[in-house]
Structure 1
Amino acid sequence: MTAIAPQAPTVLEALAVSKRFGATTALADASLRVRQGTVHALLGGNGSGKSTLLKCLAGVCSADAGTVIVGSAHVPATQLTARRAHQLGLRFVHQDLGLFDGLTVAENIALGSGFPTLAGQIRWRTLRARVTTLLDRFEIPAASNTPVGALRPATKTLVAIARALQDQEDDTCVLLLDEPTASLPDAESHTLMAALRRRAAAGQTIVLVSHRMREVLEVADDFTVFRDGHLVASLTAARPTEQELVEAMAGQPRRESRAPSRRPEPPAVAATEPVLVTRGLVAGPLTGLDLSIDAGEIVGLAGLLGSGRSTALGTVFGLRRPVAGQVQLAGRDVTGHSTRAMMASGVALVPQDRLGDAVLTGMTVRENASLSVLRRYYRGWMRVGRERRDTRALAAAFRVRTPSVETPLAALSGGNQQKVVLARWLRRTPSLLLLDEPTQGVDVVARADIYRAVRDSAGGGCAVLIASSDFDELAQLCDRVVVLQAGRAAMAIPAEGLTADLLTALTQKEAIPS
């Protein structure tokens, strides 16, 4: 990492920015100071205000107070619009990249700058030449006529960055990235971080919002930490530890906030049939998956993108019917059973796409938390009082931060939404819990709460199967990890000696014949 002098000039400063949404204070006199040519990490737990600050800087929402300084320009934060932010040289790439998979790289780039035309006709050769020059400038391994849908995830993000910065000269713009790696596998995340580090070394100023502490510590020069809408730490040219950052985010040292230690050994369980057994399971990319999980055991699934991790969970849960093979639950053949039947048999699934498949954002926390147990409250009418009391107790047990159980779920941070989803399933006391990317886009504090809940469930005898692209997560949480290669279980790695680096190495190997 190239050292940046502490006296490097400030190119972006947000001073005493405040923002309220109804009764909720999102930002309270929050500040940010960014030095030229640095990667500046903006950190905080879900709901800390970091994304709200970026939205205020982008002019997406209007701040209630504060000042934004870019270079020599001073702008009241209340008057900052999207157009003014662009004029000031602020460029944004959000988690939703805004790219169209069915269009080529050149066409996606042109959506941001316009298509060159002559006599009302698009000059395709001119466009492709311009985009090829841009791709070379940003060292992006793609061709101008390649459909964006055919690109690797990290390359897609780089295309979005190039589109945002295509009109800048001499790296004068400030690039602000909101969770650019939230949905990327580790290998893709490393590729993107290396590219950002090269851009910073060439003089580009970058503000990075990310929950992935390991990557942040590898690339960032400076750090700002928000908590509950307030600035709580500002570190310039510093080398903090992960624990120091976590404690600043959490507000106090918390055992759960640390890199979670592996859970204690589960209580002794009388020898019985395994909770889950799959034999020769064929579905999608799976070509013959053999798997067995005992009561109280936490097993991880690791593999490259497209290895079949999510397919395995969905097939067990009944979301898709296998082409061949068998699924057994507690010794009973349940192959091809419906999701309704699997739920009745004690199986629960927390899916990868929380917003698309797991929550109803227009409904309240109470309503979302009760979806899995509606029969407890419906007696010809909903017993709302009892439902409300139970939800308050559930929110407290799972440390869900919400102003009220009647708050719309959409108003909660991603981490708190995920805890509601997990709590909703665990209140059914499942015998098998399936978790697909359970902490994707979740901050380190909420992640620790989710780990605690999963460990507690396993300690009570629940079998847990986790599909995750976060190898640190698998190494910290699992009793063993099964590596998928060529659609099969290539190997099982026990907890002893299990590390993220080892999983990275094993998943990159050629498939091992069974």
Structure 2
Amino acid sequence: MEISPISVISVLFSIFFGVFGVFRGLSNYPEPFMNNAEIVIQTNKLTKHFPGVIALSDFSFALSKGEIHCLVGENGAGKSTFIKLLTGALHPDSGDMLIEGQRFSVLDPHTAQALGIQVIYQENILVNSMSVAENVFVGCEKTNRFGLVDKKATVAATQNIIDSLGIQLDPEELVENLSTADQQFVKIIKSLALNPKVLIMDEPTTMFNSKDAERVLQLVKDISGRGISVIYISHNLKEVARIADRITVLRDGQFVNCHDTAQENVDLNVIAREMVGRPVNLFYEREKSDIGEVILEVQDLKLTKTSPPLNFSLRQGEILGIAGMVGAGRTEMVRAIFGADQRAAGTLRYKGQIVNPQTPAEAIRLGFGFITEDRQKSGLVLSMNIIENTTLVAVDKFGKLLLKRRREAEAVQTFVDQFKIKTPALTQEVRFLSGGNQQKTVLAKWLYKEIDVLIVDEPTRGIDVNSKAEIYKLMAQFVKQGKSIIMISSDLVELIAMSDRVLVVRNGAITSEIAGEQMSEEYIIANAIEVN
């Protein structure tokens, strides 16, 4: 085979620029490593297509031993697709992967795991009815010489990992009794039990309050200090800037830039602009709406016979924020109002009338909507398309016996356009949408129902900065119409920017109401945490 002089010159220039660290940004390739022996994973021009969508295009990436390499990008940028290619859940259309010197055009899950690649997904993969230790070693059980499960050895091995990480966890406790934060730690322990060389973490702190998120970040640093390479995916750019050795930005399935935090001061606004393709304000400033009369009064609401009474009101045109640590009772309170959980006592007065919704269906008929914290489990029917999900609670608008499909599709198209839901077709199943577009679909469902009070639990969890801003605008437009929102959020910046008032919940009780100049992160945290 003949090699042209131009090809030789091109290769020499690529090597030259890579060595001197200025190759980044001139091609799709991330900066090559000085010491090839330290490379654990290197991918070359990975490409993956789905019907009507290029999920990943000519993506090249490198990961060194003990490195924390963060991947950032909007929902749908290609991050999850890339992870699925690395773990064998998907096969690339073209490109290849170099794993510790071995070249692969495709991987399968078994091979990826054998190579030491472990992934911790956002979704709960634990068995609630099993103990921590049983979950850690499920599928690779420790057995005695008779081939039976050795419970004592399983518990001891789990305890060793727990001790090495410096966390407090009982290996014999049932997972269903653990907090969300501790369940996340169980997933991390489960991955470490398999002695990974590469640990992939997908939004590991998305369900945490600031205190527990800090514990996870420190744990990630400790893991990388052991020589385990970490691919860390997060929409929390502050978090990324704190722990990353390098930050790779993806947009529309393509490599945009790679930032070496040891070589440059990371500017979060620059990264956000690279993610979105235009300047973006990381901190949304909501235009306040006119606050009207009280629309909802909660009087002496008790979740159980022994729980403290809850009293608060909600006004027309108001966003009432609910703050508190995970497990404080925030979600339980709004579920009781919505009729999803039973109330032991108390009165609800809605539009001046005493109401008593015993089920979500009754609450919906009154004019309430509820965006739950887990959009995939309780907000959407993943196997149904955008049209069906959007009209799910208002399908009776299109006929009693026979649905007027064309009118239904036209109505949904209006919301898709207004909400900027990215989809190749209205008939796309929502499980194939990005997280941000799934959340917009949930919001469209309730706004189409023409409700008056919307309860939102963690409205932008796991969503990129651009989608966050769009959802904030839709929420602001909703209350400007004289309607009202109760918003639970663990993101204090979000809570302060969006709320007219903030109620702080601790141990099932409302401990304070914060408004005006008092609304600061420090003051909210001080009221949310028990000091003594």
TM-score by length of structure 1 reads 0.90
Q: Equivalent of 2:100, from 64, 67, 71? A: 71
Distance 1:428 1:470, change over 3 A: same
Q: Structure 2 CA distance, aligned partners of 1:275 and 1:59?
A: 52
Residue deviations 1:276-305 (CA, integer Å, cap 9, x gap): 111111114852111111111111111223
Is the counterpart of residue 252 in structure 1 residue 278 in structure 2? yes
Residue 95 (structure 1) aligns with: 122
**Segment drifting more, 496-505 vs 58-67:** 496-505
Residue deviations 1:93-144 (CA, integer Å, cap 9, x gap): 2223532233233322322533222123333333333333333333342344
Residue 265 (structure 1) aligns with: 288
Q: Structure 1 CA distance, aligned partners of 2:392 and 2:184?
A: 36
Distance 1:143 1:294, change over 3 A: closer
Aligned residues: 495
Q: Does the CA contact (< 8 Å) of 1:286 and 1:311 recur in 2?
A: no
1:406 Cα deviation after fit: 1.4
Kindly report the root-mean-square deviation, in angstroms, between the aligned alpha carbons of the 2 structures. Answer: 2.3
Q: Does the CA contact (< 8 Å) of 1:39 and 1:208 recur in 2?
A: yes
Residue 29 (structure 1) aligns with: 58
Q: Equivalent of 1:179, from 183, 203, 206? A: 203
Q: Structure 2 CA distance, aligned partners of 1:482 and 1:344?
A: 26
Q: Does the CA contact (< 8 Å) of 1:93 and 1:160 recur in 2?
A: yes
Q: Does the CA contact (< 8 Å) of 1:20 and 1:26 recur in 2?
A: yes
**Segment drifting more, 114-123 vs 190-199:** 114-123
Q: Structure 2 CA distance, aligned partners of 1:379 and 1:334?
A: 27
Q: Structure 2 CA distance, aligned partners of 1:420 and 1:106?
A: 38
Q: Structure 1 CA distance, aligned partners of 2:54 and 2:189?
A: 34
1:222 Cα deviation after fit: 0.9
Q: Structure 2 CA distance, aligned partners of 1:319 and 1:132?
A: 38
TM alignment of 1:113-124, pairs within 5 A: 113-124=140-151
Residue deviations 1:351-402 (CA, integer Å, cap 9, x gap): 2232222211222111111123323221642221122122111111111111
Is the counterpart of residue 197 in structure 1 residue 221 in structure 2? yes
Q: Equivalent of 2:174, from 141, 147, 157? A: 147
Residue 397 of structure 1 aligns with an amino acid whose one-letter code is Q
Is the counterpart of residue 218 in structure 1 residue 239 in structure 2? no
Residue 277 of structure 2 aligns with an amino acid whose one-letter code is G
Residue 13 of structure 1 aligns with an amino acid whose one-letter code is Q
Distance 1:130 1:323, change over 3 A: closer
Distance 1:130 1:424, change over 3 A: closer
Q: Structure 2 CA distance, aligned partners of 1:254 and 1:235?
A: 19
Residue deviations 1:10-64 (CA, integer Å, cap 9, x gap): 3222221111223322111122222332211111111111011111100111111
Distance 1:484 1:365, change over 3 A: same
Distance 1:69 1:383, change over 3 A: same
Q: Structure 2 CA distance, aligned partners of 1:251 and 1:121?
A: 57
Q: Structure 1 CA distance, aligned partners of 2:442 and 2:434?
A: 13
Residue 192 of structure 2 aligns with an amino acid whose one-letter code is L
Residue 231 (structure 2) aligns with: 207
Is the counterpart of residue 317 in structure 1 residue 338 in structure 2? yes
Q: Structure 2 CA distance, aligned partners of 1:413 and 1:211?
A: 13
Q: Percent identity?
A: 27
1:310 Cα deviation after fit: 1.4
Q: Does the CA contact (< 8 Å) of 1:18 and 1:66 recur in 2?
A: yes
1:439 Cα deviation after fit: 1.5
TM-score by length of structure 2 reads 0.87
1:495 Cα deviation after fit: 4.0
Q: Any idea what SS the aligned residue of 1:17 has?
A: strand
Distance 1:165 1:322, change over 3 A: closer
Residue 343 (structure 1) aligns with: 364
Q: Does the CA contact (< 8 Å) of 1:47 and 1:413 recur in 2?
A: yes
Is the counterpart of residue 279 in structure 1 residue 299 in structure 2? yes
Q: Does the CA contact (< 8 Å) of 2:391 and 2:448 recur in 1?
A: no
Structure 1 gap segments, 5+ residues each: 1-5
Structure 2 gap segments, 5+ residues each: 1-32
Residue 82 (structure 1) aligns with: 109
Q: Structure 2 CA distance, aligned partners of 1:336 and 1:182?
A: 31
Residue 13 (structure 2) aligns with: none
Distance 1:320 1:163, change over 3 A: closer
**Segment drifting more, 146-155 vs 451-460:** 146-155
Residue 402 (structure 2) aligns with: 381
Q: Equivalent of 2:525, from 504, 508, 512? A: 504
1:454 Cα deviation after fit: 0.6
Residue 68 of structure 2 aligns with an amino acid whose one-letter code is V
Q: Structure 2 CA distance, aligned partners of 1:147 and 1:464?
A: 36
Q: Structure 2 CA distance, aligned partners of 1:203 and 1:191?
A: 19
Residue 165 (structure 1) aligns with: 192
Residue 86 of structure 1 aligns with an amino acid whose one-letter code is Q
Distance 1:286 1:292, change over 3 A: farther
Q: Does the CA contact (< 8 Å) of 1:377 and 1:383 recur in 2?
A: yes
Q: Any idea what SS the aligned residue of 1:118 has?
A: coil
Residue 253 (structure 2) aligns with: 229
Q: Does the CA contact (< 8 Å) of 2:68 and 2:246 recur in 1?
A: yes
Distance 1:214 1:254, change over 3 A: closer
Residue deviations 1:134-187 (CA, integer Å, cap 9, x gap): 33333342344333344443343333223323343xxx7111112222223332
Q: Does the CA contact (< 8 Å) of 1:39 and 1:222 recur in 2?
A: yes
Q: Any idea what SS the aligned residue of 1:111 has?
A: coil
TM alignment of 1:126-137, pairs within 5 A: 126-137=153-164
Residue deviations 1:423-479 (CA, integer Å, cap 9, x gap): 121123322111112122222221111111111111121111112222222122111
Distance 1:45 1:495, change over 3 A: farther
Q: Equivalent of 1:40, from 69, 82, 96? A: 69
Q: Does the CA contact (< 8 Å) of 2:179 and 2:327 recur in 1?
A: no
Q: Structure 2 CA distance, aligned partners of 1:316 and 1:228?
A: 41
Q: Structure 1 CA distance, aligned partners of 2:358 and 2:127?
A: 36
Q: Does the CA contact (< 8 Å) of 2:314 and 2:484 recur in 1?
A: yes
